[in-house]
A = this chain, B = another copy of it.
Amino acid sequence: MKDKKFTIPDGYTSDIAVFTITSESQGEYKPPIKKLKIMLIKRSKQDHEGNQNMEAGKWALPGGFVRPGETAFQAAERKLLEETGVDRLRIKHFGIYDSPNRDPRGWIISNAHYVIANEAALKNRKQTYDASDIQLFTMEEALELDLAFDHRQIIDDAIWFIKKDMALTTLAKHFLPEEFVLSELQGVLLTVLDDPSIATDAAFFRKSPTLPFLEVVSENGKPKKSNRYSKTPAQLYRFNEFQPIVSVYRNKLKG
């Protein structure tokens, strides 16, 4: 770079809020209790190159510096794998944090991403040189921790984006297996949304089959059912590619 008349940042990082929904079994033929959780790492004393780590001992979002030749997005993919052993997840950028004093090391710009991990995908998470511990926390737990940098703010914002995307898009599909039963979908939605049309069984079971982005699963021309969460076999559904669009000028509203 020839022209240095302007000032350049001291660092460019990517942080990732990894969300999952855990299922706690309530016994056979019962739907499990689902909870939204976020994965955080405990920052170790040194990074994997032997340098002292800032904010060691505090809980933080996985993430780190973007390398040259990389976009923040690619860095997020790489760091997620490096720090947690988690791979092949959809990453979505949702914000940028560039306040000059957010990091004591200098002017560090952070890209915030969120990711939905199927609970199973997190099973092979591991400790790394950068993280002395990795754990899942509920939203309430996470916001009470002593968090590094401005990660509390980032997590707050991430939660808001998850809720918004859950209501406005078919995001829920990333929390579910390919084929699922309506009570599973209901459980996922209820971890984040609070709406009578979802919480009321009669309403939800009647409405769901008409949703254009859901379709029933068939096998040999017969509707495919599962009794994994109930004694009565329940219809299996899957998401199709339909991208719903809503508008405040068309529909009934909630404020």
Q: What is A's interface to B at a CB cutoff of 8 Å?
A: 1-3, 5-12, 49, 51, 65-72, 93, 95-96, 98-100, 105-107, 109, 111, 167-170, 189, 193, 195, 197-198, 207, 211-213, 242-255
Contact = CB atoms under 8 A, between A and B. Distances in A.
Copies in the complex: 2
A207 to B, nearest CB: 7
Which 9 A/B pairs are nearest by Cβ-Cβ distance? A251-B251, A6-B65, A167-B247, A7-B68, A244-B248, A246-B246, A1-B106, A244-B253, A1-B10
Given A70-B100, A98-B72, A255-B243, A207 B10 contact: no
Contact of A253 (B10, B198, B212): B212
Interface of chain A, helix or strand or loop or mixed?
Answer: loop
Nearest to A186: B249
Contacts of A65: 6-7
A2 B104 CA distance: 11
Given A1-B106, A71-B100, A244-B254, 6 more contacts: A6-B67, A9-B109, A68-B100, A195-B249, A207-B249, A246-B254
Contacts of A213: 248
A56 to B, nearest CB: 14
Interface centre among A10, A111, A169 (most CB of B within 10 A): A10
